Amino acid sequence: MPWELLIAISIVAFAINSLLSRSLMKQTVSDPFAQTVVLFGLGGIVATVIALSLGKLHLPTVAQAPYFLLGGAVATIGAVLINKAYKLIEASEVGILGSAQKMWSVVGAFIFLGEPFSTLKIIATVVIITGVIIASWKHHTLKWDKGALFVIGAGMLFSVADIAGYYLLQTMNTFSFTALGYLFPVILLLAIRPSTIKHLRFYTKRSNFIKISIQSVFDITGTFCFFYAYTLAHNASTITPLTASRVILTVILGAIFLRERDNLVKKIIGGLIIVFGSVMLFL
């Protein structure tokens, strides 16, 4: 399967995932830690069953373990921060502000993965960030509230997780990486915050369980396709910014299904600029 198609699937999956996250987290009694545990837990079970059935579930080697633990730890914190953000701001805003992560991932790919430096890719990344700024501009100021700061912080952590993941995937199969990468945050969160368990009852409500189950399927699909695309293309500085194009889909779906229509024109303009920057990566 072409890596471009895998990225396209990932973009759609993550856009739908954003809507479901916002739908669940905006409820008053929802908890960001519990959301992370249930989402990763269900996704991890699915990924583990698939990996076992294919005979491709292997624990990290001693050499791989430090990178796996680092990536897993920062991804766990990032996931909690993102869920906190979904409680405070719209899914479209999370998607737009989250696009800033791509800049850090591109720089990391040049520095830590030894990918060839490209001026055009740097320009494209700057264009993407410009789109983020335009979409976030409200009443002559940038909206940097607590929710926005959560997203920015999560983005920086996810960049570290992505770089660690890219490094691991040079010697680790995608099935093991995805399955173990989803189970590790569950173990980590329950170990350091056992009180999370009492918040899991939120997902015993049928409608919430259905939403989180569907979300986990889209999330694990998006993640697997994203990292498997890297194993085929081995070009993180192209693949990572390209996924920023999902922001325009998130904005459109958010306006249709969640009625997130505040500053819609600026969001669309910013989203289109982000897509343009993503297209520049192929030039």
Exposed, middle or buried, 41 (CB in 10 Å: 0-12/13-18/19+)?
buried
How confident is the model at residue 140, as a pLDDT? 46
Cα distance between residue 121 and residue 104, in whole Å? 12
Instruction: Count structural domains, the chain.
Output: 1
Domain of residue 85 covers 3-280
How confident is the model at residue 108, as a pLDDT? 79
Reading the chain (283 residues) residue by residue, the pLDDT tens digits are 788 899 989 989 999 999 999 999 999 899 999 999 999 999 999 999 999 999 999 999 999 999 999 999 999 999 999 999 999 888 878 877 777 676 777 777 778 777 777 788 778 778 877 876 777 665 545 455 788 889 989 988 999 999 999 999 999 999 999 999 999 999 999 999 999 999 999 999 999 999 999 999 999 999 999 999 999 988 877 777 677 767 778 878 888 888 878 778 877 888 788 778 777 766 6
How confident is the model at residue 137, as a pLDDT? 64
